[in-house]
Structure 1
Amino acid sequence: MTQQPRIAIDAMGGDEGVRVMIAGAALALERHADLRFLLIGDEEVIGAALAERPALKAASEVQHTTVVVAGTEKPSQALRTGRGSSMALAVDAVKTGRASAAVSAGNTGALMAMAKLALRTMPGIDRPALAALLPTLGDNDMVMLDLGANTECDARNLVQFSIMGAAYSHIMMDLPAPRVSLLNIGTEELKGRDEIREAAALLRASPNLPFTFTGFIESDKIFAGGTDVVVSDGFTGNVALKTVEGTARMVSEVLRRAFTSSIRSKAGFLLSKPALHILKVHLDPNNHNGAVFLGLNGIVVKSHGSADDKGVANAIHVAARLAEDDVTRQIAESLARIADAPAAAGVAGGVTGNGAGSAGGNVTGSVAGQ
């Protein structure tokens, strides 16, 4: 386990930049006193923010740059022009070992492209995936991936995503054998596209999985609490995530209108306020902020651009946990366990592939609007 994890913070990314990123780091330090930070951005602006936070200042080093990757830049453009940006320097700090993990609230596509180019994919992983923790009706949160890093995936990708998602769930939820499900249009074995059914066959054929494969799951069941990891291609995962987010906003607005429609409704609101507070906390995206690019030789966490200080602190918490428990090592061990299993002969090749150190794949594909 890494002592005193050091988190590189892209202080210039996100809707509010330095103000909220520094406030989030300060809040994270209050919760985790052993954290250390590399704050990357405009030294003068960061220095002014640190002047009000002596504890964070003592735990931080500042690296100066005024170059920022704009939210409108295409990944290919960011790769050409953003080499000295706060985002690129944060990722480079992970590559060179100056930081245990990087956190950015900037352009998702640019961050994905920079992270994949600098860190490369792990041996045995063809493509990284964007994963996040989401609330459920069960006893713990659920991991969902891919949320948009790869618009198209084959069976091997889906199996690798299952392994990565299980490792993430094991670390964040302390689950010894997370339940993993493939998102599909039905639960029957004959339902779905060829690659989904092939991935299910590969998972069922491997006897040495570090998780419990539960088969297919339909989209209306993913938040019921019956599974711990939901796996899909990035296109489907992104659509599912955006649909859920939109539905949550609609429900919130319907409730607001209902409780303000009359004097009786307003009285009902006062009586229902404690229960509504629980609902608000459960659905607050800041409590689940922090999506991670799994499958790289290093940890990069994407904070939502509109996250507040609590949301940024949560993203830093995710980065620190993954660094402390060495998610990269856990994924590698899981891949090795499957490949070494004698009964999985002929299956391991389909699982692990030949993606060692690969920079291929869809770097600039559609990504979730984190």
Structure 2
Amino acid sequence: MRAAPTPVLLSSTPADLSPWISTLDSVAAAVGDIPGLLSLAVQAGRTWPQPGGGRTAVLWELLASVAAIDVAAARVFEPHLDATAILAQAGQPYPDFGPGPEGSQDEAWGVFAAEAPGAKLEALPAGTGAVLTGSKPWCSLAAHLDRAVVTAHTDDGGRAAFAVSLRHPGVACEQPQWIARGLREIPSGSVRFEQVPAFPLGGTGWYHSRPGFAWGGMGVAACWLGGAVGVARDYRDSLQAGSGTGREPDQVALAALGEVDRTLTAALQYLAWTAARLDDGTLGGGANQSTWSEAQRVRGTVAAAVERVLTLVGSNRGPGPLAFDEPYAKRMADLALYVRQHHGARDDAQLGRLTLKGDCPW
């Protein structure tokens, strides 16, 4: 019998998360099964907390716990939960696109907000809504999803968010040429829209200016950190297994485990502190501080912690597990790709510009 998954905790106790342990166990059983994971994500969207609602730490703990089980599973859960939060923030939960089960809570959602050279999605007014035409890049799992929140260029020169049905005949999901070794079951390609009806969400500029944009970015960081916890647990388990056969870890192996521990503990405590401030309204509440600068600090700090854990564990475990331990090799490859959503020095440069303007706590 498989042991129940161990949750990743920020400020809760294991008992606090006990209502969701069965969901985590179901995630562990569904690894690699995208329809099954999407069904679990839809269920989670009905009951899991939303950011800023008083239980942000619990939400981030659950996302991290899913990622600690399987990083790709977190890539299924996080966009759906982000979409439900966006719809609630816009005051438009589950828009009704027409007859049938449309508009219900039984649909799988994605969030497509990336931009890329040569790809442009445009929105033109149409009655009380809009129609979308053009292409959108980096649309993960688009062919498996029912609906999406997408951003598009508007006729006033800005960008706005829209809720759209991916089952409309004007939507064409390309077959991605996905050659990545990480997140192999989460292919990401372009989607073409041709006169597809869409519901506006919040108006031009709302998507990126709302506090929830920063909150969602920190939720992704929680997933990265959960993936790193999974890598660290693999490493600790390997050392314990070696001890059980008489091969005690040397000082170098123990030093690496100690650094992994303090790196992860510091990042987990930072996320817990941030979640508490988000819920009590003090996050970004200083005279010159913004929520987005806080998000950049969280994302950069977590990304650096993840990169360090990947380096420490990878160098100490060596090539053998990467070649012959499938769950470990998958976790390492998945996480290395996922954390690249942080743009490294470019994101730090954006934070530096904010800091130069005084948008910092020091």
Under a length normalisation based on structure 2, what TM-score does the superposition of the two structures give?
A: 0.28
Structure number with higher relative contact order (C-alpha < 8 Å, ≥ 6 residues apart)? 1
Which has the larger helix fraction? Answer: 2
